[in-house]
Amino acid sequence: MSARWDRLTAVWGTLMAATLASWAIGTQHGHDHDVRRLATVGVIIVAFAKVHLVGRHFMDLRGAPVLLKIAFTGWVVGVPATLVTIHLLRS
């Protein structure tokens, strides 16, 4: 099939693999405080990296107007930055 098909399959495969990896990490029960803090930061970053892939490849924002790209990227970067900051300062 076309390159478009291959790209979408690769993106989907990456998203599925990242989800299964999160599941494997999420079902582990580490009780060390620092490990848990870091794992949470990792979980948040992976989630928003997945959102970025969905936006770019499934929502087709690659060729979208620049203002929309800025707004979407602002969310994909700003929200996790806020969450990680709150978590690291307060946990």
Partner 1 sequence: MAVTDILARLRAADQDPAVRLPGEVGIWIFILGDMAVFGLFFTVFVYERDDHPDLFEASRDTLNITLGTLNTLLLLTGSLFVVRGLNAVKDGRSRVARRWLAGAIVTGLAFAVDKVVEYADQAQAGHGISTNHFYMYFYMYTAIHLTHLAIGVCALIYMRGLAGRPELTVRHVRNLENGASYWHMVDLLWIVLFALLYLMG
Query: How many angstroms separate the CA atoms of 55 and 79, rounded?
Result: 15
Residue 61 burial class via C-beta count within 10 angstroms: exposed 0-12, middle 13-18, buried 19 and up: middle
Count of alpha carbons within 13 Å of 18, Cβ hemisphere only?
19
Number of residues located near partner 1, criterion CB under 8 A? 48
Site pattern 46..65 for partner 1 (x: CB under 8 A): xxx-xx--xx-xxxxx-xxx
Residue ranges in the chain assigned as alpha helix (H): 3-26, 33-53, 66-90
Site pattern 26..45 for partner 1 (x: CB under 8 A): xx-xx-----x--xx--xx-
Residues near partner 1, by CB under 8 A: 4, 8, 12, 15-16, 19-20, 22-23, 25-27, 29-30, 36, 39-40, 43-44, 46-48, 50-51, 54-55, 57-61, 63-68, 71-72, 75, 78-79, 82-83, 86-87, 90-91
